[in-house]
Amino acid sequence: MQPFRISNVTIAVDGAAVHGSVTVRDGRIVSVEPGAGTAAASGEAVIDGRGGWLLPGFIDLHVHGGYGADFMDAGHEAYDTITRFHSRHGTTTMLATTMTESRERIRAALDAADEYVSAPMPYARLAGVHLEGPFVSPDWMGAQNPAYRVDPKLDWLQEWHDAYPSLIKQMTLAPEREGALEMIAWLAERGIVASAGHTDARFADMQAAADAGLRGMTHTFNACRGLHHREPGAVGAALTDDRIHAELIADGHHVHDAAMRLLARAKPPGKLTLITDAMSAAGLEDGTYELGGLPVTMKDGVCRLVEGGNLAGSTLTMEAALKRFVEATGWTVPQASVLASANPAYLLGLSEQTGSIAAGKWADLVLLTEQLEVVGTWVSGRRVYEAQQV
């Protein structure tokens, strides 16, 4: 790859803004220089950022699909479609997120993801799989299919892990269900993020789960027991227990702006992550779609189950999530960028390679206008998206 420099940009560096340039060579960041910096080296291409933002590439821990494809489709073409779509919106790394489906279909999705990551990935990279279900609460199914819900079965998880070592990076489960604490401890021992979601857990259940190794709260505020002043529930635990890393769908539909501000004030800056929870309808027009085998209607960009009307995933992109979070909370762009890059990189154990802009790290970068519209995305220094105006 030709070495290149992105100049005339405001760079997000560890939550602060630095105006300058970033130089990339052989897929890695070589230098971050404030101000005008040194002259470009011979053979080095120069990209004028036009005063925009240069952020670390976004890392989406919870995404089901986009542009008509779903990770449960379990095919190379579908995975290309999803990773291509989200790379256009600044995502450079993601977890292929499954649904509560049959044991066989989950195994097929794992098989497809394992095959996909073993070959060169042309767009955003898959860092592994997030298993959302099937070990969830029957009381908080959300858009999960109740026909396939089961209580935790460690032998299933062991089988999947043995067949695809190191592929499973996160698992969403209901920690109050029988067998869940044993499963959480098993996940923690292997460095897999155990996250509470689709759960009726009370505050004490969440505390016991955190003691066992629970590290996350899936789409905080959604599909779980809410906050009550006498029974704080799963939300209360997510807000107050610093062992728990909270996901947030910042689209204004799943979570009110005021609740975003509450979460932003309650959690340490390193314990909050922006996600999309995007489904196949993301990037498409209003109409009828499917999620986890259940029919979904999208109207005005909001997806709901045809039967019951529950919210069904989202049509959010990481670029839009960042923008909405900044507007809702008053955080600066560099501060919010940490929630979209550094924090998820930490959860995945990738902080040494990506998640921030620093010399030696993968050149996972996203260039945005001052209005936070993506105009360029690079994965390990390879440009995977370029808007016409750049």
Task: Tell me whether residue 198 is annotated as binding.
Answer: yes
Task: Tell me whether residue 101 is annotated as binding.
Answer: no
Q: Enumerate the H helices of 180-304 as residue ranges.
A: 180-189, 203-212, 233-240, 257-266
Task: Tell me whether residue 230 is annotated as binding.
Answer: yes
Decide: 334 and 328 in contact? Cβ < 8 Å.
Answer: no
Q: Which of 175, 177, 179, 188 is nearest to 218 (CA)?
A: 175
Element spanning 384, H or E: strand 382-386
Angle, helix 233-240 to helix 257-266, in steps of 10 degrees: 50
Judge whether 364 counts as a catalytic residue. Answer: no
Question: Following DSSP, what letter does each residue of 121-150 receive, concatenated?
Answer: -SSSEEEEEEEE-SS--TT--TTS-GGG--
Torsion 314-252-376-352 (CA) sign: negative
Phi, psi (deg, nearest 5) at residue 318: -65, -35
- Quote the tokens at residue 160: 């999947």
Task: Tell me whether residue 330 is annotated as binding.
Answer: no
- Quote the tokens at residue 80: 């290309």
Question: Following DSSP, what letter does each residue of 200-227 receive, concatenated?
Answer: ---HHHHHHHHHHT--EETTTTSSB---
Task: Tell me whether residue 311 is annotated as binding.
Answer: yes
CA distance 22 to 117: 28
Q: Which among 200, 205, 251, 277 is annotated as catalytic?
A: 277
Task: Tell me whether residue 130 is annotated as binding.
Answer: no
CA distance 173 to 188: 13
- The set of residues, in sequence order, having a beta carbon less than 8 Å from that of 31 and lying 6+ positions away, is 22, 23, 37, 359
Phi, psi (deg, nearest 5) at residue 320: -70, -35
Task: Tell me whether residue 287 is annotated as binding.
Answer: no
Q: Which residues are catalytic?
A: 277
Known binding-site residues equal 132, 143, 198, 219, 222-223, 230, 254, 311-313
Known binding-site residues for Zn(2+) equal 132, 198, 219
